[in-house]
Chain A
Amino acid sequence: MKSKIGVYICHCGGNISDYVDVNKVRESVKEIQGVEISIDTMFACADSSQKQIAEDIANKKLDALVVASCSPKLHYPTFSAVAERGGLNKYNYVHANIREQVSWAHSDNKEGATEKAIKVVKSAIARVKESVPLEPIEVKAQKSIAVLGAGVAGMRAAKELADLGIQVYLIEREHFVGGRISQLDFLCGADITGKELVTQLYEKIHKHPNVTLFTGAEVIEKGGSIGNFKVKVKITPRYIKDECNPEQLQKAIDVCPVEVEDDFNFNITKRKAIYRNYDSEYPHFPTIDSKNCTRCGECEKVCSSIDFTQKEEIIDLTVGSILAATGFDPYQPKENEFGWGIENVVTLPQFRRIINMCDNKLIYKGKEIKDIAYIYCVGSRQVEGDNKYCSRYCCTATLYTSILTHKKYKGIHSFHFNRGIRTYGKQEVIYDEASRLGDIFLQSYEYDPPVVTKVNGKTNVKIEDLLTGGKEIEVNADLVVLVTGMEPRNDCSIGDVLKIPKGRDRFYNEIHMKLRPVETVIDGVTIAGACQGPKNIMESMNSALSAAAKSYSIVNKGELALEPIIAKVDKDTCVWCGKCAEACPFDAITKVNANGKEIAEINASVCKGCGMCLPVCESDSIDMDGFTNTEIESMINVLAEN
């Protein structure tokens, strides 16, 4: 119980004192037991007033502080800092809002406002009397970070963290690194191919003493909390020995009788059950796709490096933070969506692979391609579907692809059926270049999209072109390219394991898109790259470095100071009914055995002090530090007094 309380009542230059009789408020609280001083001030937030309050605390040895002024959203941090400067614990400070909730709200009734202000201040005094000093919760933090996904964002973040001296576990679900970028050859605006970019990053991480790379590996369980996550990683075998003979492996690929759709080439080609996606791929030796392998044994006959005795492994890691850079999937068009299903309708990612495979002539399914129709915003900015967002990268990627076709092949004509070209920023030059190369742009609104049909063996695209006064224009195309946007990974089980919340677009969600763009509500888990939403490579790199910096700031000191306003369980009265654990949105509550009795335990580093567990507790065994039942009840008592 505090007995030397300082109460300061602010005029706010008239904002309060024009409607609230500040003197009367001061007089009516002055005699309350425990109030040492009560003072009214023109501007409590002014530097001189702050200095005065801090001096009063020190000189008069005050043990608690109340400032009645504006909204705590505005000045709670100011006055709790003043309390600390005066030598008080900041949790012995209580803020009373008599501006937004009193003077501004009741400017028509000065007497009533004054009466309400008195009650608000009295209740704050009642609460501060019961206040308890609190200290931040210290948590030890592991100096290691798990980076999920070895695409360009994940590898970039891993490299940066490793350079900073952090042990990095880079966990990749595929058997090869590089992610989506390894599927790209030429990159817009860079004199480097996607494969080269992947190689450069791989070379930086692969010999780095601080990076441990797991391929074919997936996080299947997450426990613990910020600073000390316990992560279970399942590693599927590659079935190839570490010491391997490249010539024999090539023979093994040649003799493998199993042919399946090659998803690296978006199903436009076939691959074997033992495969590598491209020659210079990393890690440098192939893998066996256990789903499709029939174990016929042909490869073992020609290659001694094959080892079917390898087993799936589960390993446990402890990390201070988790950085998820799990990427995206390209949108898969629905049957008949813009002619999807017609043999010469492909997606932009498929088309990029086709260009990669054709050297002098652009040939698809045996026919030479000259006239190409690109249909934009397929799976993005949908009117009816869920994908309301713009996928950002596709306008630029498409125009760049068109320029590539002009440079690589002769006699190409490109028709861009778009809904407004969005080659933002520096990428505008790409639009200019394509347009000067003779590309034709046709535009429609979202409710009047182009129509793709097959007529007499020709694929026809029709549009009511906005730029030609709504006139119906058609073109016969040799190839229709659906410019598909980005979607969240179809298999996003990792998000469920980590409990990262998703936005309405189903991508992982940051806490605040402007102020905290790489943190998630799961403390210690950051996100980077296209798993957060559509991004181009530069934007992915930016977010990777930013997430790396954020994750680093969590683990680098080796310990963390967390906000002490959290729930606490009364071990004597708790009888474990489990309701609190159900109500907790952060999984902070677990059942434990204490002295032969099952009770609830709250993980201090996971609890956010939201208070969801308090009202559901039937035995009233949970209390919240900083907002204890005693404090709140004392406020209610004052407010209910007549």
Chain B
Amino acid sequence: MAKINPKFTDELKKYGAFDTNACYNCGHCTAVCSLSTEEDSFPREMVRFSVLGLEDELKTSLKPWLCYYCGECSQTCPRQAFPGELMMTLRRWLTAQYDWTKLSGLLYKSLPLSITFFILVIAAVLGYSWHENFNIEKIMHVGHYFEMFAIAGVFALIILPNIIRMWYLTIIKAGVKVKAIDYIYKFWDLLVHMFTQKRALGCDDNQVRWFEHLILVIGYLSLLFTTVALDWFGTSSKFIIYLGYAESALIFIVTFIFMYERIKKSKELSSHAHPSDWFFVIWLFLMGLTAFIVRIFIDTDLITNNLWIYLVHLIVLVQWALIIVPFGKWTHFLYRSFAMYFDALKKDQV
């Protein structure tokens, strides 16, 4: 038994969906989808649940995460109901549902609120620097430690509880009977999907995109490791310095391509960008670029008289770590791989 909630599509529209109601249930979208299977059939079912506003069915579903948005369904839809964009919207909505702080939802729905948060971060960083009399060494030192504590704190307080919530909704509430041992057996799936996103290869004509994305993920994770664990800005090891240059360059080059595609709307998946998509890709670009420039300033000894460049980098970094990572698009990195993990558990249930 499920009760219709006709107001739900209005809520979804705030997360980016449009014209979902135009759907007349022909099922073209599901038929052309190269990832949809008989067991995991989408997107039509998701469109239908959205139209009817069956929130419980949507919350307990892993299907939005199983879509890698090649956009073929939207191109094929005879009603221009954009099922692909709806799947993307549902991922945003689910991110908000998993988030116990509810901040994700507020930020997704309100661009002014997001901008306010970004401005508050700028004020805080500048305020702190002023408090420290713009002492470059002190600020860089704190910046380095900030990264470590931010990662640990955000993970422990926000991301881990949210993944547990995702697990609760999609496994426990969905009534999936998992064999306990499978949590270990299937753990490999989690790692594979987290570091390769290999499911995206199943999308038609998506191989180039998958490769770009893979490079971005590897570049991002290794730059994170290089700056936090190997202290890229403080090291004198030539190898680490050049490694950092290479990684940050990869990030801003690939994100530049992504931004260019979004501006040109050259692909179905890049033609309906939500502010959260823009924040994600722009901040990644800025992170890579500012880190690269800061290191150049260090290497050319210009940094002491040009604190401002480090402050820019620090602002971008703090905004990224406190806004985009816990409450923005960053979490799709984890939710997608956990969805594959949970889906594997589900397929092998008792």
Contact = CB atoms under 8 A, between A and B. Distances in A.
Interface of A: 371, 413, 415, 431-432, 435-441, 462, 467-469, 471-476
27 contacts: A371-B6, A413-B7, A415-B4, A432-B22, A435-B22, A435-B23, A435-B24, A435-B79, A436-B19, A436-B21, A437-B21, A438-B9, A438-B21, A439-B21, A440-B51, A441-B24, A441-B25, A462-B1, A468-B45, A468-B49, A468-B52, A471-B2, A472-B1, A473-B54, A474-B4, A475-B4, A476-B3
Nearest to A434: B21
Contacts of A473: 2-4, 52, 54
B272 interface: no
A389 to B, nearest CB: 25
Main SS of the interface on chain A? strand
Interface string B15-34: 00001011111000000000
A441 to B, nearest CB: 8
B274 interface: no
Contacts of B9: 438
Given A435-B23, A468-B54, 14 more contacts: A371-B6, A415-B4, A435-B24, A435-B79, A436-B19, A440-B4, A441-B25, A467-B25, A467-B48, A472-B1, A472-B2, A473-B2, A475-B3, A475-B4
Nearest to A475: B4
Nearest to A471: B2
A472 B25 CA distance: 17
Given A413-B6, A436-B19, A474 B48 contact: no
Contacts of B19: 436
B279 to A, nearest CB: 30
A474 B22 contact: no
B3 A440 contact: no
A213 B9 CA distance: 55
A474 B2 contact: yes
A439 B9 CA distance: 11
A471 B7 CA distance: 20
| Closest 8 pairs between A and B when the two form their complex, measured CB to CB | A413-B6, A475-B4, A438-B21, A467-B25, A472-B1, A436-B22, A468-B48, A474-B3
Nearest to B4: A475
Contacts of A471: 2
Nearest to A371: B6
A299 B25 CA distance: 60
Interface in B39-79: 45, 48-49, 51-52, 54, 79
Contacts of A438: 6, 9, 21
Given A467-B25, A469-B45, A440 B2 contact: no
A441 B21 CA distance: 10
A472 B21 CA distance: 20
Nearest to A463: B4
A395 B49 CA distance: 24
Nearest to A472: B1
Nearest to B80: A436
Contacts of A462: 1
A578 B19 CA distance: 74
Residue in B3, B19, B79 with the greatest tally of chain A CB atoms within 10 Å? B3
Contacts of A467: 25, 48
A415 B6 CA distance: 9
Contacts of B7: 413
Contacts of A413: 6-7
B22 A440 contact: no
B131 to A, nearest CB: 52
A374 to B, nearest CB: 13
A474 B1 contact: yes
Contact of B21 (A431, A435, A476): A435
Nearest to B19: A436
Nearest to A411: B7
A431 B79 CA distance: 12
Nearest to B9: A438
A337 to B, nearest CB: 23
B44 to A, nearest CB: 9
A313 to B, nearest CB: 57
